[in-house]
């Protein structure tokens, strides 16, 4: 077992290249979700702190210390950051597990992905872009992509470093300056990333980090007129607040929100593969994954067999502290989130659903001080139940039954969300037919969860606006400008005199 450091980490904000406490000196504790111990203190930033970061980013954008560099120069900084993430991978992995609770093998994967994401955007930004048009002589028209300006980036706690990097890497690659806010629940690895920025000599003011409550600091970022764009990942309810806060200044908004994603399993699927991926789809990350396969839809002829096998395996999942190598599923991220998940479990029972397994907080095996919940399965659910419609964001899955393709699609699309979805079938044509009918932005056939830096990530409907990752993720952080050049410089002659 990796030793948990007893020392409390004293976090600071990073504004204009300086490490800062909150202007009012207030802090809040950061808690280890495996045992409720205080592991760090974070500055409780204020509106004034947010403004200081915004002005620093504005100044840096205007004076061109970052936006004025060539793509190649910016890329070389990003590559150095990627190398440093690799160099500190072991420490970052331990810190991620300490703060978020996820098992070490999950945290290790996130850290490696974060380095790869910086490399991907370092490469992409140096590749050809823009367009030229053959318009009527003597004009020449072309399109260039430019940075948007100051980008506000607000991220959640489920992938503390990786969600930060999905925004920071493309935003910086494009030449923007940033004001970044981690979740107050998990600020430790993001702070380490900003130490890396300092270490590689990123120009002052290019990347600023403020901490503090979302409704205070986050709201200021979303509403401030000097912020040109806000990019947010988190709950749909918060996303709506952010959209409203951004509306007055008409800033560009990019939102990666929640989901209630369907995982459709046909009778002709490879049975054990489908069960295995269905478990991975919901219980990886303790269900705190926006794309989690939280609704399993199973064809009626194999429904009972599927539920029996799924429950048998769910009961065997080893739940424990993330820093125990034997752990397969860690705790929920916070006491507040534990309450929310337990509330949904109670609600499911009140709504008349049957708990096929789990349903309780775990207090045995020295887990009583952590935020551990059993892998939970609900059956006998109806489509209009809140546990079927709403994002629980925990290790809680509903298993529904369908008769045919049409019913599978209807149930799958029957929520306000549209983030992800999967189909398991050995009939390739049927699988693709169904996938094409899903109103969702991220889909898999005979798989669940793989995510690539190259491929766009984001949702339909109330799962968000815009895309992260890939070329699409870079374009989110770019403005588009048309340039029309007159190749024959003489008066237009529209007016006679």
- Enzyme catalytic residues: 256, 290
Residue 302 vs 442, nearer CB to ligand NDP: 442
Q: Checking DSSP bridges between strand 252-256 and strand 177-181, what pairing results, if any? A: unpaired
Q: In the Cβ-directed half-sphere of 384, how many Cα atoms lie within 13 Å? A: 0
φ/ψ (deg, to 5) at 279 = -65, -45
Measured from the CB of residue 392, what is the shortest distance to ligand NDP in angstroms?
7
Q: What does the alpha-carbon distance between residue 157 and residue 321 come to, in Å, rounded to a whole number? A: 17
Residue 20 vs 181, nearer CB to ligand NDP: 181
Q: What does the alpha-carbon distance between residue 41 and residue 30 come to, in Å, rounded to a whole number? A: 6
Q: What does the alpha-carbon distance between residue 388 and residue 415 come to, in Å, rounded to a whole number? A: 8
Residue 260, helix vs strand vs coil: coil
Measured from the CB of residue 333, what is the shortest distance to ligand NDP in angstroms?
8
Residue 177 vs 223, nearer CB to ligand NDP: 223
Residue 67 vs 286, nearer CB to ligand NDP: 286
Q: What does the alpha-carbon distance between residue 310 and residue 356 come to, in Å, rounded to a whole number? A: 10
Question: Where along the sequence are the contacts to ligand NDP (CB under 6 A)?
Answer: 154-158, 181, 183-185, 213-215, 218-219, 222, 233-235, 238, 241-242, 257-258, 290, 337, 340, 391, 393
Comparing CA positions, the residue from 402, 146, 423, 193 lying closest to residue 298 is 402
Residue 34 vs 155, nearer CB to ligand NDP: 155
Measured from the CB of residue 185, what is the shortest distance to ligand NDP in angstroms?
6
Residue 97, helix vs strand vs coil: helix
Measured from the CB of residue 246, what is the shortest distance to ligand NDP in angstroms?
10
Measured from the CB of residue 338, what is the shortest distance to ligand NDP in angstroms?
11
DSSP 307-371: HHHHHHHHHT--B--TTSTT-SB---S-HHHHHHHHHHHHHHHHTT-EEEE--SB--TTTTTTS-
Residue with tokens 């004025």: 68
For ligand NDP, which residue has the nearest CB? 214
Measured from the CB of residue 263, what is the shortest distance to ligand NDP in angstroms?
17
Residue 54, helix vs strand vs coil: helix
Q: What does the alpha-carbon distance between residue 234 and residue 393 come to, in Å, rounded to a whole number? A: 11
What are the C-alpha distances in Å from 55 to residues 151, 213, 220, 227, 279? 12, 19, 12, 9, 47
233, β-bridge pairs: 256
Measured from the CB of residue 418, what is the shortest distance to ligand NDP in angstroms?
12
Query: What residues contact residue 116 under an 8 Å CB cut-off, 6+ apart?
Result: 82, 453
Residue 66 vs 157, nearer CB to ligand NDP: 157
């Amino acid at each position: 077992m990796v030793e948990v450091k007893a020392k409390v980490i004293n976090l600071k904000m990073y504004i204009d290249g300086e490490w800062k406490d909150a202007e009012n000196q207030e802090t809040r504790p950061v808690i280890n979700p495996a045992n409720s111990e205080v592991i760090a203190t974070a500055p409780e930033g204020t509106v004034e702190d947010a403004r200081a970061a915004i002005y620093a980013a504005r100044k840096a954008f205007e004076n061109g210390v970052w936006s004025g560099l060539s793509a190649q120069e910016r890329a070389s900084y990003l590559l150095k950051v990627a190398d440093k993430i690799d160099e500190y991978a072991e420490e970052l992995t331990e810190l991620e597990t300490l703060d978020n609770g996820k098992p070490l093998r999950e945290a290790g994967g996130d850290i490696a992905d974060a380095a790869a994401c910086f490399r991907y955007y370092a490469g992409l930004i140096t590749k050809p872009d823009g367009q030229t048009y053959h318009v009527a002589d003597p004009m020449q028209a072309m399109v260039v992509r430019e940075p948007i300006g100051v980008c506000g980036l607000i991220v959640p706690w489920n992938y503390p470093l990786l969600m930060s990097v999905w925004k920071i890497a493309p935003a910086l690659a494009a030449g923007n300056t940033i004001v970044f806010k981690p979740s107050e629940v998990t600020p430790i690895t993001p702070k380490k990333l900003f130490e890396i920025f300092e270490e590689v000599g990123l120009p002052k003011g290019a990347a600023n980090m403020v901490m503090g409550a979302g409704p205070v600091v986050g709201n200021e970022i979303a509403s401030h007129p000097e912020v040109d764009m806000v990019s947010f990942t988190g709950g749909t309810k918060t996303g709506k607040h952010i959209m409203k806060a951004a509306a007055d200044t008409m800033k560009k908004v990019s939102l990666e929100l929640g989901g209630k994603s369907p995982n459709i399993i046909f009778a002709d699927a490879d049975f054990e593969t489908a069960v295995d991926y269905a478990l991975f789809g919901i219980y990886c990350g303790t269900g705190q994954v926006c794309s989690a396969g939280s609704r399993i839809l199973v064809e009626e002829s194999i429904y009972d067999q599927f539920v029996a096998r799924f429950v048998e395996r769910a009961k065997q999942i080893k739940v424990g502290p993330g820093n125990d190598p034997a752990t397969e599923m860690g705790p929920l991220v916070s006491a507040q989130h534990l309450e929310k998940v337990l509330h949904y479990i109670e609600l499911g029972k009140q709504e008349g659903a049957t708990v096929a397994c789990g349903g309780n907080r775990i207090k045995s095996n020295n887990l009583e001080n952590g935020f551990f919940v059993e892998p939970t399965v609900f059956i006998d659910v109806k489509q209009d139940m809140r546990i079927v419609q709403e994002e629980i964001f925990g290790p809680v899955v509903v298993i529904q039954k369908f008769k045919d393709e049409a019913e599978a699609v209807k149930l799958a699309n029957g929520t306000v969300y549209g983030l992800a979805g999967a189909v398991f079938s050995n009939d390739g044509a049927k699988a693709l037919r169904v996938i094409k009918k899903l109103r969702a932005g991220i889909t898999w056939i005979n798989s669940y969860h793989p995510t690539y830096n190259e491929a766009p990530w984001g949702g339909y409907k109330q799962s968000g606006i815009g895309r992260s990752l890939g070329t699409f993720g870079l374009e989110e952080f770019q403005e588009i400008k048309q340039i029309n050049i007159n190749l024959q410089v003489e008066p237009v002659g529209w007016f006679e005199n």
